[in-house]
Structure 1
């Protein structure tokens, strides 16, 4: 991960305050791809704390927490999504993105606003 830090820093410098949006987007995309949200929170938390972002440490922690929660909601590989899909005899992608997608998006927007206004 240390090899990616200069690229991440350059991206954070270009995005500025909009890095508030990039952190959850990256987190959720990696979570949907199959990486467990708790592992992502630890790895991304360590990497992002070494960068100089226009966010306070508390705001960054809130972003990671909100992103982790949304990833658990919208990931087709999450346990509750798989269990719900099995019991209702539907595909996990349908449960994760179609049924939980709007709630996850709303939760993400409120969480990002809260993290932004906090810091």
Structure 2
């Protein structure tokens, strides 16, 4: 099988980046339901995806609000319709004794397998 060229990777990036732009924070894996284990004080935050290059791009950093007394374990990406796209488990839980912000910068890279 021939290798996937950069133009093909870029076309896939453009398709995939259109699947989701809403980020949310959670206290446990929410599965595919946005309201499950939602961090108190967290509202939907929208990232803006770049044009990308060779199948890769980094979305804009979003400041996700967190109320005091919350522990963040997961960040989720959703389509604006509410459809689940992806879940990322933080390597270390973020514990908030005081109200604060968790800055999230999503990256999407399409790799040829």
- TM bin, normalised by shorter chain, reads under 0.3
TM-score normalised to the size of structure 1? 0.26
